[in-house]
């Protein structure tokens, strides 16, 4: 594992997301599409809702017992020297991302890919009879046997 990937896997970040109703005037309290994400099944969520997501990252410094922002050098470090990467988020669905420059992923590029994976797939996750809104603390990525990378989330 490269030093840049090791650094990436030590980043601290909390995934923030919110659901936007795609059809606000079509929903009533009894609509299965409207209630799907709030109290049970995840079915129909991708049709009724859109997910907005973001994650700001920083680094914890043991000596300071505090967090610091990333430097420009760290943000631009090459983390993966591949033109594409397949990420698997909390829902277990693989999403393939192309490197913005077609050659490799910087730390900033890979953070964006992690967030985009969750934006696209978190609606299909399940935890305690609903969408998993609990596992949002970024804990790195782990390579899988199928060539994808599992995004690790803590609660």
Q: What integer pLDDT is reported at residue 35 of this predicted model?
A: 43
Indicate if the pLDDT at residue 95 is higher than 60: yes
Considering only residues 150 and 17, tell me which one the structure prediction assigns the higher pLDDT: 150
Q: What integer pLDDT is reported at residue 153 of this predicted model?
A: 95
Bridge partners of 151, per DSSP, are: 141
Indicate if the pLDDT at residue 124 is higher than 80: yes
Share of the chain above pLDDT 90, in %: 59
Q: What integer pLDDT is reported at residue 59 of this predicted model?
A: 94
Q: What integer pLDDT is reported at residue 32 of this predicted model?
A: 40
Return mean pLDDT, the chain.
Answer: 84
Q: Taking the domains of the chain in order of start, what are their residue ranges?
A: 3-16+51-154
Q: Find which of 36-40, 71-75, 118-122 is predicted with most confidence, using mean pLDDT.
A: 71-75
Mean pLDDT over residues 93-107, rounded? 97
Sign of the alpha-carbon torsion through 17, 145, 9, 102: negative
Q: What integer pLDDT is reported at residue 53 of this predicted model?
A: 86
Q: What would the pLDDT profile of 15-47 be if each residue is shown by its tens digit?
A: 998 876 665 554 444 444 444 444 444 444 555
Q: What integer pLDDT is reported at residue 38 of this predicted model?
A: 47
Residue 152: closest CA among 144, 67, 45: 144
């Amino acid at each position: 594992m490269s030093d840049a990937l090791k650094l990436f896997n030590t980043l601290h970040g909390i995934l923030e997301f919110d659901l936007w109703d795609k059809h606000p005037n079509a929903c009533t309290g009894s609509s299965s599409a409207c209630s799907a994400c709030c109290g049970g099944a995840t079915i129909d969520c991708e049709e009724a809702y859109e997910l907005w997501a973001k994650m700001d990252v920083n680094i914890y410094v043991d000596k300071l017992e505090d967090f610091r922002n990333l430097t420009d050098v760290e943000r631009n470090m090459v983390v993966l020297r591949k033109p594409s990467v397949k990420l698997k988020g909390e829902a277990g669905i693989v999403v393939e991302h192309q490197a913005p420059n077609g050659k490799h992923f910087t730390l900033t590029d890979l953070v964006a890919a992690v967030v985009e994976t969750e934006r696209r797939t978190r609606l299909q996750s399940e935890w305690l009879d609903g969408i998993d809104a609990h596992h949002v603390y970024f804990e790195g990525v782990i390579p899988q046997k199928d060539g994808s990378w599992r995004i690790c989330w803590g609660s």
